[in-house]
Amino acid sequence: MSSPNDGDAAYRAAVGIMLLNGAGLVFVARRIDMAAEAWQMPQGGIDDGETPRGAALRELKEEIGTDKAVVLGESRDWLRYDLPAELAGQAWGGRYRGQRQKWFAMRFTGSDGDIDLATEHPEFSEWKWVPPASLPRFIIPFKRQLYVDVLAEFAALLTPPAG
């Protein structure tokens, strides 16, 4: 298995989280730092010395104010996306052309009241649960293929639990 520091240095090592609720819907949130309506699943960089799994759990808490989730699965490979040219020179100080991400599917074990976007460093203004198949429709175009790939990776986990 590859580590976060293996591979192309032009890509920032990061994680993404597909958070599923008991009804099989996926958490998405609207970014506060983009003029256009930009929704995404939680994601973020991997700190030095941190495992991808540890980073995913930390990012969940930092971005949506809760860690009430259990890991269901992890992507087999690192998935990548490239930033559009107009963002490549701005994001992350212009150091990266995009991100290489390890994705985690997680089952949310809390209640909607446990989600709190008013975190120490807020990234989102609002959130909602959406059907998995609709994810690509919500996502900004340069991440759309990545989301299609994540859906394919976790297809077997998208059925809500029985009961």
**One-character DSSP codes across 44-111:** EEPPTT--HHHHHHHHHHHHHS---EEEEEE-SS-EEEEPPHHHHTTGGGGT-SEEEEEEEEEEE-S-
pLDDT tens-digit readout, 23-52 = 999 999 999 987 777 899 999 999 999 999
pLDDT tens-digit readout, 78-97 = 999 998 887 777 777 778 88
Instruction: Classify domain 11-155 at the CATH topology level.
Output: Nucleoside Triphosphate Pyrophosphohydrolase (3.90.79)
Residue 4 is predicted with a pLDDT of 52
Residue 2 is predicted with a pLDDT of 45
**Which of 25-34, 61-70, 147-156 comes out lowest in average pLDDT?**
25-34
**pTM (two decimals):** 0.90
pLDDT at 161 over 70: no
Residue 3 is predicted with a pLDDT of 47
